[in-house]
């Protein structure tokens, strides 16, 4: 496929790493009594970790093979999506299972409407988007797109769902209000993860089988550009103001920074091996990058492009979350079966806690334990 945009690849300089070791040697001040909630894929459990006391406080059984956990907006509910085809709704704290919804043979991804009254989930193999009334936990509609689906994203204004299909090289658009297909567009090879700008104008898609990211106008559903990145893209992280997109090399050791307004490459930068997740701390603007290939998390000053630290914390970090006060970062490590707790500014490993068999996702709600 012809490529519509050609990047300006700039040379990246690697600064010296400030590596911080683990252990609570000076008895650091603990965070507020926030709770981290971790899903364990192998043991099919949801675990509540008290971040003031650094200990597991409760455990609940959920549907088999969970892979995502999200907080329902404005509610003390956790929704756990399992590849077995179920969504478990769990109340916190105390982890009381309220409902288990059977959606089909499989389930993937989850998005909530801004008010949290509606939810959207993929049944990937059937190529369906499932619409759920989150108030009564009932399925209200299914929209079939005619191709197996890979990832799901919702525009910040809540009006449009975007679903990628790796097998058809297409991205589909659905209206959340009318619950119908608006159209689709062919992008690059094997589209996967997606990021949508804060103004809901544009979606960027990782073309996982080529060294490119596709930019698509959501309003017109038109392909704007295939941006050559020089790396095979995987996960992505959007700067809070939406101006830059950080694209991680799926099986490599680098990232590429894209200008989301000009649709071109600004710079590339080295990372750890197999970066799989990125998370921004807004103030100061720091990007944390989890590298599953070498058990590390690096902290990058995103404004000045300076590597602040690289912390070795385990074997295979997969997911991260910040406490609402931004003082602590928690990291789920799948192979080590632990949750690592780091102090931020600078990033320093405080402790690791066993949480279950193969933790794959973690959230920290903006809520304090009693």
Which of 247-274 are b and which e, b meaning 16 or more Cβ less than 10 Å from the residue's Cβ?
bbbbebbbbbbbbbeebbbbbbbebbeb
Q: Are strands 191-196 and 180-186 parallel, antiparallel or unpaired?
A: unpaired
**Model confidence, pTM:** 0.90
Long-range contacts of 229-233 (CB under 8 A, 24+ apart): 229/7, 229/256, 229/258, 229/265, 230/7, 230/9, 230/256, 230/265, 230/268, 231/255, 231/256, 231/268, 232/208, 233/193, 233/206, 233/207, 233/208
Residue 31: pLDDT band (50, 70, 90) is low
pLDDT at 29: 63
Q: Given this model, what pLDDT does residue 367 score? A: 79
Confidence band, pLDDT 50/70/90 cuts, at residue 27: very low
138, containing H or E segment: strand 138-144
* Whole-number pLDDT of residue 10: 29
Taking 90 as the threshold, does the pLDDT of residue 234 lie above it? yes
Reported confidence tier of residue 23, pLDDT bands at 50, 70, 90: very low
258-314 residue pLDDT tens: 999 999 999 999 999 999 999 999 989 999 999 999 999 999 999 999 999 999 999
Tokens (6 digits) for 37 = 């909630």
Question: Which position has the token pair 């790396």?
Answer: 231
Report the percent of the chain where pLDDT is more than 70. Answer: 91
pLDDT of residue 113: 98
Q: Which of 6-15, 90-99, 156-165, 207-216 has the lowest mean pLDDT?
A: 6-15
Q: Above 90 in pLDDT, residue 4?
A: no
Does residue 52 have a pLDDT over 80?
A: yes
pLDDT tens string 150-184: 999 999 999 999 999 999 999 999 999 999 999 99
State the average pLDDT for the chain: 92
Token duo for residue 63: 């549907």
Q: How many CB atoms lie within 10 A of CB 284?
A: 12
């Amino acid at each position: 496929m012809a490529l519509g945009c050609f990047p300006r690849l700039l040379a990246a300089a690697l600064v010296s790493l400030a590596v911080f070791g683990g252990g609570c040697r000076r008895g650091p001040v603990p965070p507020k009594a926030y709770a981290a909630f971790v899903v364990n894929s192998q043991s099919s459990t949801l675990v509540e970790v008290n971040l003031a006391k650094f200990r597991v406080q409760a455990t609940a059984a959920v549907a088999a093979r969970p892979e995502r956990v999200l907080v329902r907006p404005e509610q003390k509910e956790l929704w756990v999506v399992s590849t077995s085809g179920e969504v478990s709704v769990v109340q916190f704290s105390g982890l009381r299972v309220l409902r288990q919804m059977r959606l089909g043979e499989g389930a993937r991804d989850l998005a909530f409407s801004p008010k949290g009254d509606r939810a959207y989930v993929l049944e990937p193999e059937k190529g369906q988007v499932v619409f759920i009334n989150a108030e009564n936990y009932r399925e209200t509609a299914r929209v079939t797109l005619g191709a197996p689906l890979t990832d799901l994203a919702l525009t910040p204004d809540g009006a449009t769902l975007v679903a990628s299909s790796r097998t058809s090289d297409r991205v589909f658009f659905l209206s959340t209000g009318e619950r119908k297909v608006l159209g689709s567009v062919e992008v690059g090879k094997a589209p996967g993860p997606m990021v949508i700008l804060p103004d809901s104008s544009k979606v960027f898609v990782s073309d996982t089988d080529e060294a490119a990211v596709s930019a698509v106008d959501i309003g017109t559903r038109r392909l704007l550009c295939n941006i050559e990145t020089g790396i095979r893209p995987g996960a992505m992280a959007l700067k809070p103001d939406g101006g830059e997109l950080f694209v991680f090399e799926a099986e490599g050791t680098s990232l590429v920074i894209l200008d989301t307004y000009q649709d071109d490459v600004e710079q590339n930068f080295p990372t750890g091996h197999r970066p799989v997740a990125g998370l921004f701390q807004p103030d100061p603007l720091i990007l944390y990058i989890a590298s599953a290939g070498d058990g590390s998390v690096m902290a990058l000053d995103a404004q000045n492009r300076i590597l602040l630290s690289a912390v070795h914390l385990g074997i295979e970090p997969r997911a991260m979350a910040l406490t609402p006060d931004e003082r602590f970062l928690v990291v789920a490590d799948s192979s080590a079966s632990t949750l690592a707790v780091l102090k931020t500014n600078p990033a320093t490993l405080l402790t690791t806690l066993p949480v279950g068999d193969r933790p794959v996702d973690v959230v920290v709600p903006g809520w304090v334990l009693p």
